[in-house]
Chain A
Amino acid sequence: MPESSNSGGQARPAKATARGHHPLARYLATRLGLSVLLVFGVTLVTFVLTNLVPADPVQAALGEQAAADPQIVAQFRKQAGLDQPLPVQYVNYLGRLLTGNLGTSNQTRLPVSQEIAKAFPATAELALVAILISIVIGVALGLWAALRRRRAADHVIRAVSLVGLSIPTFWLALLMYYIFFFKLRIFPGSGRLSPTAIAPPHVTGLYTVDSLLAGQLDNFADALSHLILPALVLALYTVGLLTRFSRSSVLDVLNQDFVKAAKAKGLPARVVVTRYVLRGALVPIITIVGLAFGSLLSGTVLVEKVFAWHGIGEYAFTAATKLDLPAVMGVGLVVGIVYIGINFLVDVLYGVIDPRVRIQ
């Protein structure tokens, strides 16, 4: 037993220094602390941009006519707390955020939090399907390219992934919509369901999941067929990203001693690839998934409008084009916090899978 494995020996010094605290728990606590700090940072950014940067926040909120009347302006400033010192304003702002108050949209006059909450499941469904597609295709292509290094397949995959990283997403969305819906009618048009379909009873807000839970198979098929095209468009960039990263990650592992040993033992190539290479390469790939999620969230802002997908991205697009500042800031805040949350989850996963990470 004492000389059984090297990896067990590596983790031991960490346990000794941890003094009763489990190293994983300590690692998670540090990560959580950093994430919470970042969330505060994000609120500081949106606070500064909402209250300090616009040339005149009063005019931005009131409109030209009302802003010309000094009495209304004074009343508004007092009501909005703009006559208070900045730190007090920030604390008030945080207080409002904690109660879920993201302000009122200048365009619709509805609470921004309510509108974002309504749009959230649509984007979540789209982004989850897109990330699944990206991981499956990206890792497979990356693995293939690495195993066929410097051969035709490698060069083709490299070119394809570079194209994926270079295509403007919003343009691709328009092109795909035009070709596959408008011209060929292969995929259904805009929206999450056909106009005649009735949305499944709300459980998660994800139509594919909800329709399955309710046992409505035709609704499930409808929701899925609406999902495919926007999800593929959204995934192309992250497929490129994950392909390139998986390739280099697999190449790194291929040179390691344990892979050489496995090959030398005479294990079949399939076993070496799945049990040794892929497992070793997956750990660094996981870290890039968090990053990929960020570009997906960016992509939704540019893609959803084209597909009339009523999610956060479409909401952000409309808010940006109409210069609806509270709505734009609300989206920035929510997406920023979601992104921090995803990266925290990635860190957790990373720490659970790879014991070496906990030591640092």
Chain B
Amino acid sequence: MSLEQGLTRPRFRLPATLRNPMAVVGASIILLWILVAAVISHIWPVDPLAQNFDRLLPPGAAHWFGTDQLGRDVLSRTLAGSQTSLPLSLLLVVCAMILGGSLGAIAGYFGKAIDETIMRIADLVFAFPTIILAMVIAAALGPSLTNAVIAMLIVSWPSYARVMRSLVIGARGSEYVIAGRLMGSGAFTSLWRDILPNVLAPLLVLATLDVGTAILLLSGLSFLGLGAVPPTPDWGAMVSDGVQQFSSWWIAVFPGLAILSVVLAFNFLGDAWRDSLDPRTADAVQGRAI
């Protein structure tokens, strides 16, 4: 496939990516949300958990985004929602990349029985639609954000394993890897020093695109009541509240817009980055869409 082409030009090229307007928009939105998540609880005057008797107020001067069924300020809750979604999704993607990447590298490098075992387990995960499997696992573990992240980790590592495996298989026979082996590198050194730097970029692109998927998945689980537990301000759970309070559209609309903006931002960034790496690797990089 076109993977080899990606391997011949393996530089880390984020700066070039950032000349793309889509990537700039994406990166700016992400930075803005990270800033909000970092400082919101220190500077924002309205407590996202504070209840009052002004229930279900439409957006107005006192409450720009209105209030929910318990009289809580929807704007503060939407802003505070970034504190659960962003760090957890980033954490999840990093863990999934490390776990899936390591397993994929081991499978691709050693082959044979190890490869078979790891990849058949990955196939099993792929045999379920993502949210269904995450839902089943999260329900068995019990509803909490930690368990939701564990469930998501179980469903997300295989796409990294698949991509990493094929990249390692592609790189394994390269002359620089063989040269390293001849000079006495062991398996770990060979993987870490020779192969990893050359396959990292496609893996990082996949991870960037995956943050968006992770946020959608986490908010989906929270929407199902299997993620954030009340009263934690969480975007998915807030939309779920909106289903109950149907005519008060503002309860669901603003957290939904928050999810959309972050996911779109990560997709813009990841997409532009992928294109700048090599337009032809576009689909080789996409391990799994959802």
Contacts and interface: CB of A to CB of B under 8 A. Distances in A.
Interface of A: 38, 41-42, 45-46, 49-50, 53-55, 158, 162-163, 165-172, 174-175, 178, 182, 237, 241, 245, 248, 291, 294-295, 297-298, 301-302, 305-306, 316-317, 319-321, 323, 325, 328-329, 331-332, 335-336, 339-340
Nearest to B252: A174
Nearest to B253: A175
A162 B271 contact: yes
A309 to B, nearest CB: 13
Contacts of B264: 162-163, 166
B256 A301 contact: no
A50 to B, nearest CB: 7
A321 B132 contact: no
A41 B160 CA distance: 21
B135 A171 contact: no
Interface in B269-290: 271, 282-283, 288-290
Given A167-B260, A168-B219, A171-B260, A328 B127 contact: no
Contacts of A302: 131, 220, 223-224
Contacts of A316: 132, 135
Contacts of A42: 124, 127-128
B246 A50 contact: no
Interface pairs A-B: 3 shortest CB-CB: A171-B256, A332-B136, A298-B131
B288 A171 contact: no
A321 B222 CA distance: 10
Given A45-B124, A162-B267, A170-B220, A241 B133 contact: no
A336 B127 contact: yes
Contact of B288 (A178, A237, A245, A291): A291
Given A50-B140, A175-B253, A320 B224 contact: yes
Counting chain A CB atoms within 10 Å of each CB, which of B224, B225, B260 scores highest? B224
8 contacts: A53-B141, A168-B263, A291-B288, A294-B129, A301-B132, A301-B224, A331-B132, A335-B129
Nearest to B130: A298
A47 to B, nearest CB: 11
Contacts of B129: 294-295, 297-298, 335-336, 339
B143 interface: yes
B226 interface: yes
Contacts of A336: 127-129, 132-133
Nearest to B135: A320
**DSSP class of B's interface residues: helix, strand, loop or mixed?**
helix
Given A38-B124, A45-B124, A182-B246, A329 B130 contact: no
Contacts of B216: 166, 168
B224 A182 contact: no
Counting chain A CB atoms within 10 Å of each CB, which of B127, B140, B246, B253 scores highest? B140
A336 B135 CA distance: 12
B56 interface: no
Nearest to A163: B264
A291 B289 contact: yes
A170 B216 CA distance: 10
Contacts of A46: 136
Contacts of A163: 260, 264
B239 A174 contact: yes
A306 B263 CA distance: 22
B140 A53 contact: yes
Nearest to A319: B139
Contacts of A169: 220
B165 to A, nearest CB: 18
B216 to A, nearest CB: 6
Given A166-B216, A182-B246, 14 more contacts: A46-B136, A49-B137, A53-B141, A166-B267, A291-B288, A297-B132, A301-B132, A317-B224, A320-B139, A320-B225, A332-B128, A332-B136, A335-B128, A339-B128
B142 interface: yes
A234 B249 CA distance: 20
B139 A339 contact: no
A166 B263 contact: yes
Nearest to B275: A158
A167 B264 CA distance: 8
Nearest to B121: A41
B101 interface: no
A256 B282 CA distance: 18
